[in-house]
Structure 1
Amino acid sequence: MGLLSFIKEAGEKLFGGSSAHAAEPGANPDAAASAAIKTYIETQNLGLTDLIVAYAGATGVVTLSGKAPSQEASEKAGLAAGNVANVTSVDNQLVAPEAPAAQYHDVVRGDTLSAISKKYYGDANKYNAIFEANKPMLTHPDKIYPGQKLRIPPLK
């Protein structure tokens, strides 16, 4: 899938500071952050297998590898990893069946799913396609925030 960029200050607060808090002196904060991101991705129930997550705190880059059951699952995993505070980009190397790739939208202040739908589909009433494409990361169509990156799927 490639490299996606994200806003470092936006997203889920899975670990604190500029990198993960080490549980014990001498512990590897990047390994702790990698484990936290992996756990977060796994809670999305995307059907990934052999998932490996590597976080480099110095650069804020997350690398994903393993297998995804679909292009959609791969894209959602990349978004889940990238919509975490302190992550600047995701190098998504998940292997998935070929399918049309989605577009992405960076949410800005004042955005609504209806407005985003109007921009990409020409119809504000198709906002539910965007909402469904970003579940379970989105829990309600009105709960999006600036800095978040959303998946805009091709219409079927």
Structure 2
Amino acid sequence: MAIWDFVKDAGKSVFGKAEAAEPKPATQPEAAAAKPGQDPETTRKVAALKAELRALNLDKDDVHLTLRGDTVKIETKGADRETLEKLVLAVGNIEGIAKVEADLPQAEEAPLFHTVKKGETLSAIAKAYLGNANKYNAIFEANRPMLLDPDKIYPGQTLRIPRD
């Protein structure tokens, strides 16, 4: 099981404000996903994570998430390596998540991730990792569907860097 660190205070806000979140009855899929003894807030957050994965078309029937504090464990049997790396990034780039655990299929090399720093662009990142600023589109494509625009990256966001 590998663990990746993320910037907890950076990322997309999908949980809402804890103080503003009124407890509400769980929907049938949320109730089915809830583990016995799991508190309603954790159930709500897991449902929000699953909804984000659905919005990105990354949620398959065999993707299971477990939330413990600010750590998410991803379990799946059917995902290939690229999809699993995207799942790790989609969940890790959510505000409030500091660590993601997952078992990646075997490969010769570990995945290459980069955390965006203030002022960086995809072109600068492409030049640093791929040797050519014009290869920014390869990084953009490797991070779709999480990235919708190559000009919209933010400090603290973690990106997948293609090996090619």
- The normalised TM-score by structure 2 is 0.82
User: For residues 74-129 of structure 1, what are the alpha-carbon distances to aligned partners after superposition, in whole Å with 9 as ceiling and x for unaligned?
Assistant: 00000000000000010123x64757543000001010000000000111111111
What is the aligned partner in structure 2 of residue 67 from structure 1? Answer: 77
What is the aligned partner in structure 2 of residue 151 from structure 1? Answer: 160
Q: Which runs of 5+ in 1 are unaligned?
A: none
Contact 2:62 2:78 in 1 (8 A): no
CA distance in 1, matches of 2:19, 2:146: 22
Moved more, 139-148 or 37-46: 37-46
How has the CA–CA distance of structure 1 residues 32 and 139 changed in structure 2, closer, same or farther, with 3 Å as cutoff?
same
Work out whether 1:115 is the aligned partner of 2:124.
Answer: yes
What is the aligned partner in structure 1 of residue 57 from structure 2? Answer: 45
Computing the radius of gyration from Cα coordinates, the structure with the larger value is 2
What is the aligned partner in structure 2 of residue 12 from structure 1? Answer: 12
Structure that is richer in strand per residue: 1
Q: Which runs of 5+ in 2 are unaligned?
A: 26-37
Contact 1:47 1:68 in 2 (8 A): no
- The normalised TM-score by structure 1 is 0.86
Shift of 1:69: 3.2
State the SS of the aligned residue for 1:117: helix
Contact 1:34 1:55 in 2 (8 A): yes
User: For residues 14-44 of structure 1, what are the alpha-carbon distances to aligned partners after superposition, in whole Å with 9 as ceiling and x for unaligned?
Assistant: 1134699452499611111011101211222
How has the CA–CA distance of structure 1 residues 21 and 61 changed in structure 2, closer, same or farther, with 3 Å as cutoff?
farther
What is the aligned partner in structure 2 of residue 3 from structure 1? Answer: 3
Instruction: Count residues with an aligned counterpart.
Output: 152
CA distance in 2, matches of 1:51, 1:74: 10
CA distance in 2, matches of 1:113, 1:9: 21
